[in-house]
Amino acid sequence: MKELLKDGFPDYLESIRETPQSGLRVNTLKTTPERAAELLKLSDRVPWTENGFYLPEEKGFTKSPYYYAGLYYIQEPSAMSSAALLGTEPGDRVLDLCAAPGGKTTEIGATLKGRGVLYANDLSASRAKALLKNIEVFGIGNAFITCEESSRLKKEFPYWFDRILVDAPCSGEGMFRKHPAVIRAWEEHGKDFYCPVQRVLLDDAAEMLKEGGTLLYSTCTYNPHEDEDQIIRFLSDHPEFGLDRIPPCEGFTDSWLLPGCVRLLPHKARAEGHFVARLKKKGEKRASSEGTAYVQGTGYGGGPSYGTAQGRNRKAALPEDLSAFLGIIRREFQESNILIQGEYVSYLPDTAAYRKDLRYLRTGLLLGQLKNGRFRPSQALAMNLTKDEWPDPVLFGIDDPRVVRYLRGETVEADEDGKGVRLLCVDGFPLGFVKQDRQRLKNMYLPGWRMQ
């Protein structure tokens, strides 16, 4: 670092003795940054993203019912830069190649606004479980979650994606202050351990990106071998790409080793260490030929039926209980996009995006399960709905003690008699389903998500 920063080294050394900065990113699928700032009493904005705020401390924000409602994600501020600079637009086909635990993925999914398709991939199945939860808490229904090598994905999706994010595994030098345990891994592996992995990820991503598409590469390390040197090598090997210069922004340091790339340094930004490079593939960008893309709060047109994993285009009578439940929701479902695999019922955001031979953790939106002809809706579906899409939601305020009791898995009482499944909301934001019998609300909240 002394060699890299020269005269700036003493300031850097002083900065890493300071307390790490925490951040919060608002889920724009659920609310606006302005509304969230009002609810959470926030005002200190992160300059490189429209929906990021600095936190005085993280304590309390992960215990709020608003957190369980998916209104925001706790994220280190420099990490917010990658998804913000990717430039995702509604309708895009996007691949997050190293997605877990989902901080950048959830922002991409929110920016898509339910249109297009998001592939969130992570080779580690255990890490991908956290990714799955974060995607479902955010209410993102147009995502596929896979656990595959990049070499496997490039065979299935040649020149298919509009945008690809490679937030690569790295030596983690930029996180030493926030996560000291990373130092031990650095000492064990050395600073260049991940360079071959990064190279493969970049090269495979190049073969999955369409002409005119955007490839964004980021790390949380300072090591030039993992940062600028990777980009210089990539551009030399792939003349069809050019560097897309990142414009100036408060807190950004233009890379002096490769101008147009960005470094975030803790003595120059209120953030941990980060590196970002944006690459553009030459050629004219062509619009993706979307299948039926899910748009939150709007209908599709067309009545429900279902296809199977073996043949989704073969029409069959929709199971009666499933049909009745979908009929309650104020949204229409395209018949060819319903996928039943065993007892699980999913809704595919784009049938052209489904590749049956891949290892999936989730295929689109999990609607629920069918057991003995009975349909049980999923927690993911509840989070994907809006208050207005359910005819008679249970509405509790943030200060109502029944909200916390519900999140802990308890049975709560309703204010009026009723019968059947209902959507429970806090201040109008869905939390999950309940099954009402008179004034008794039987808890259907997912056990693994319960507040401890």
d(CA 48, CA 87): 12
Q: 312 and 262 in one domain? A: no
> Do both 263 and 219 map to the same domain?
yes
**Residues 317, 412 within the same domain:** no
Whether residues 234 and 178 fall in one domain: yes
CB 404 within 8 A of CB 65: yes
Beta-strand pair 344-347/338-341: antiparallel
Q: Which string of DSSP letters, residue by residue, matches 204-248?
A: HHHTTEEEEEEEEEEES---TTTTHHHHHHHHHH-TTEEE-PPPP
Instruction: Verify that 206 and 320 share a domain, yes or no.
Output: no
Residue 123 lies in a domain: yes
Residue 243 lies in a domain: yes
In this structure, what CATH number is given to the domain that contains residue 403? 2.30.130.60
> Which of residues 333, 362, 383 is at a domain's end?
383
Listed residue (16, 83, 427) closest to 276, CA to CA: 83
Q: Where among 335, 350, 383 does a domain terminate?
A: 383
Residues 371 and 406 both lie in one domain = no
Residue 249 to residues 43, 48, 261, Cα–Cα distance (Å): 19, 7, 12
Q: Within its chain, how far is the Cα of 448 from the centroid?
A: 19
The residues near 141 (Cβ < 8 Å, ≥ 6 apart) are 114, 294, 296, 347, 349, 364, 365, 380, 384
> For each of the chain's 452 residues, which pLDDT tens digit applies?
999 999 999 999 999 999 999 999 999 999 999 999 999 999 999 999 999 999 987 678 999 999 999 999 999 999 999 999 999 999 999 999 999 999 999 999 999 999 999 999 999 989 999 999 999 999 999 999 999 999 999 999 999 999 999 999 999 999 999 888 899 989 998 889 999 999 999 999 999 999 999 999 999 999 999 999 999 999 999 999 999 999 999 999 999 999 999 999 999 999 999 999 999 999 987 776 544 443 333 222 223 333 333 333 344 578 999 999 999 999 988 888 999 999 999 999 998 999 999 999 999 999 999 999 899 999 999 999 999 999 999 999 999 999 999 999 999 999 999 999 999 999 999 999 999 999 999 999 999 999 98
pTM of the predicted model as reported, rounded to 2 decimal places: 0.93
Given 383, 404, 437, which residue is the final one in a domain? 383
Tell me what pLDDT residue 325 has.
Answer: 95
Residue 341 placed within a domain: yes
Q: How many CB atoms lie within 10 A of CB 32?
A: 12
Q: Tell me: do 177 and 141 sit in the same domain.
A: yes
Report if residue 419 sits inside a domain: yes
- Evaluate whether residue 244 is within a structural domain: yes
Same domain, 338 and 267: no
Question: Which amino acid type is present at position 29?
Answer: L
CA distances in angstroms from 331 to 309, 320, 387, 401, listed in the order given: 23, 18, 12, 31
Q: Are residues 366 and 416 in the same domain?
A: no
Q: In CATH, what number is assigned to the domain containing residue 93?
A: 3.40.50.150
Q: Which residues pair with 422 in a beta bridge?
A: 434
Instruction: Write out the residue range of the structural domain in which residue 416 sits.
Output: 391-449
The answer as to whether 272 is a domain residue is yes
**Number of other residues whose CB lies within 10 A of the CB of residue 439:** 12
Domain membership flag for residue 345: yes
Residues with catalytic roles:
220
State whether 179 and 312 are in the same domain: no
**pLDDT for position 318:** 85
E strand segments, 61-205 = 72-74, 93-96, 117-121, 143-146, 161-167
Note whether 370 and 422 are same-domain residues. no
Q: Is residue 400 part of a domain?
A: yes
Q: Whole-angstrom Cα distance, residue 61 to residue 67? A: 7
Number of structural domains found in the chain: 3
State residue 137's pLDDT score. 98
One domain, residues 111 and 194: yes
CA distance 299 to 179: 45
